[in-house]
């Protein structure tokens, strides 16, 4: 009878140990983030005053840092030492990835956003070797520095936090205050 109890106790201990060792692996699988399937726009800072918002055809200056969604690896930044110059482009002309053309609409000078961009609005199946793999979702921290050459100083925009309503702007993308 004692042998049977020891055997059952041993089986029970082995099962508990096995479950304990598997728990971190199972938990990490459950907490892994899924890549976005649509553009996600998070507003980190919105100036209190916003006289002008970006629209298609505007020439904008944007500081940014780009990372892979999968592991957070930084692949590019306009703020790198020795660079420090914002990227200038015309919104809606296809000179940047679609996620930028859509994600930077209705933005104020001085506003900071996080764009979570699905692969289909980034570089898609081709990627951008060697730094961006195929079908990679991307995350960009962005800050709008100027619209059509007019920066925050000339626009009168102040760096005060404003309440964001969390609703979608006319660009149709989901926005949230971060």
Task: Give the Cα-Cα-Cα angle 137, 164, 47 (nearest 5 degrees).
Answer: 95
Count CB atoms within 10 A of the CB of residue 109: 26
140 is catalytic: yes
Query: Is residue 178 classed exposed, middle or buried when 0-12, 13-18 and 19+ CB atoms within 10 A define those classes?
Result: exposed
Of residues 140, 141, 147, 155, which has the active-site annotation?
A: 140
Could you confirm whether 64 is annotated as catalytic? yes
The one catalytic residue among 58, 89, 101, 123: 123
- The encoded tokens of residue 174 equal 């989901």
Query: Which residue among 41, 64, 132, 171 is the active-site one?
Result: 64
Active site residue 117: no
Chain position carrying tokens 């309503």: 165
Q: Is 6 a catalytic residue?
A: no
Q: Which residues lie below 8 Å from residue 50, measured CB to CB, with a gap of 6+?
A: 108, 109, 111, 157
Choose, from 41, 89, 97, 147, the residue flagged as catalytic.
Answer: 97
Residue 65 near residue 140 (C-beta atoms within 8 A): yes
Residues identified as active-site:
64, 75-76, 97, 123, 140
């Amino acid at each position: 009878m004692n042998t049977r109890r020891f055997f059952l106790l041993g089986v029970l201990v082995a099962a508990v140990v096995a479950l304990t060792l598997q728990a971190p692996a199972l938990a990490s699988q459950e907490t892994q983030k899924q890549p976005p399937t649509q553009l996600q726009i998070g507003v980190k800072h919105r100036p209190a005053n916003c006289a002008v918002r970006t629209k298609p055809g505007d020439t904008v200056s944007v500081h940014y840092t780009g990372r892979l969604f999968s592991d957070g690896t930084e692949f590019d930044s306009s703020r790198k030492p020795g660079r420090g110059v914002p990227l200038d482009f015309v919104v809606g002309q296809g000179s940047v990835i679609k996620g930028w053309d859509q994600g930077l609409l209705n933005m104020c000078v001085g506003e900071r956003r996080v764009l979570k961009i699905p692969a289909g609005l980034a570089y898609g199946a081709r990627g951008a070797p060697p730094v961006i793999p195929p079908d990679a979702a991307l995350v960009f921290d962005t800050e709008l520095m100027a619209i059509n050459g007019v920066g925050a100083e000339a626009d009168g925009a102040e760096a005060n936090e404003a309440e964001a309503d969390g609703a979608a702007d006319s660009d149709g993308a989901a926005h949230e205050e971060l």
